[in-house]
Chains A and B, each alone.
Chain A
Amino acid sequence: DGGITQSPKYLFRKEGQNVTLSCEQNLNHDAMYWYRQDPGQGLRLIYYSQIVNDFQKGDIAEGYSVSREKKESFPLTVTSAQKNPTAFYLCASSSGQRVPLSEKLFFGSGTQLSVL
């Protein structure tokens, strides 16, 4: 089935450690996104990529890094510079370059990151 796969489902980070969250899609979508969700808050955009080898910062990019070497893959690295990384991380993709298709998002099942 086509969709977005995020892994792992749960991840634990030690102090000073970088961790990478995986996001793979087989929907042939051009655009991919990373969101962070905290309890009591709405989704916040971390990074997005509209095409391979290009990505843009969202609202809360500090302490995070991404790469987009392949159309299917958009991994997110949570670096040691992110002082409050505990959150639910969601990856999404969209097919179109223009609204409304560009804002019809398909989400993965999420990764819960916690700090040890």
Chain B
Amino acid sequence: DAKTTQPPSMDCAEGRAANLPCNHSTISGNEYVYWYRQIHSQGPQYIIHGLKNNETNEMASLIITEDRKSSTLILPHATLRDTAVYYCIVRVRSPRNAGNNRKLIWGLGTSLAVNP
């Protein structure tokens, strides 16, 4: 099964770039990498997703290595409101679900603290 490994916590100074790493060494060739974040006591918020190429949107950039075994989410100018748990997730085949053999696996994520 494709799973992800993330550091449990990171710190970042306000205004600096936050680089959050994720290891997904067993990812299959056609599986996307998704990033979400969750502010305390709220529902997760979608940030970005990618397959092979680097991606950028108004929230963040996603850098995926050429071998697709790892990726980095970049918040270019972190603010205090970016303090949250960041999840890097991939799809996993689930033999138990007939007709829908895939599901997203949510790990514990990285708790990012942006400091003033």
Size bracket, chain B contacts: 20 to 34
In the assembled complex, A25 has its CB within 8 A of some CB on chain B: no
Q: In angstroms, how far is the closest chain A Cβ from the Cβ of B91? A: 7
In the assembled complex, B76 has its CB within 8 A of some CB on chain A: no
Contact among A48, A99, A104, A109 with B46 in the assembled complex (CB-CB below 8 Å) = A104
Give chain A interface residues in 40-74, CB to chain B under 8 Å: 40-45, 48, 50, 56-59
Distance in angstroms between the alpha carbons of A57 and B34 in the assembled complex: 23
Chain A neighbourhood of B42, CB < 8 A: 109-110
- Measured CB to CB, the nearest residue on chain A to B36 is A105
Chain A neighbourhood of B49, CB < 8 A: 100, 103-104
- Measured CB to CB, the nearest residue on chain A to B42 is A109
Q: Are B44 and A103 in contact (CB under 8 A)?
A: no
Most buried by B among A56, A105, A110, A112: A105
Contact among B34, B46, B91, B106 with A106 in the assembled complex (CB-CB below 8 Å) = B46
Q: Are A110 and B43 in contact (CB under 8 A)?
A: yes
Q: Are B44 and A43 in contact (CB under 8 A)?
A: yes
Q: A42-B106, A45-B103, A56-B100 are in contact. Are A92 and B32 (CB under 8 A)?
A: no
Q: In angstroms, how far is the closest chain A Cβ from the Cβ of B28? A: 12
Give chain B interface residues in 84-107, CB to chain A under 8 Å: 87, 91, 96-97, 99-100, 102-107
Cβ proximity bits B28-39 to A, threshold 8 Å, 1 near / 0 not: 000010101000
Q: A42-B108, A58-B103, A103-B49 are in contact. Are A90 and B43 (CB under 8 A)?
A: yes
* Residue contacts A-B, CB under 8 angstroms, 13 given: A4-B43, A6-B43, A35-B106, A42-B108, A43-B44, A57-B97, A100-B32, A103-B91, A104-B34, A104-B49, A107-B45, A110-B42, A112-B41
| A residues lining the B interface (CB < 8 Å) | 4, 6, 35, 40-45, 48, 50, 56-59, 88, 90-92, 99-100, 103-110, 112
Among all A-B residue pairs, the 3 with the closest Cβ atoms: A107-B43, A42-B106, A43-B106
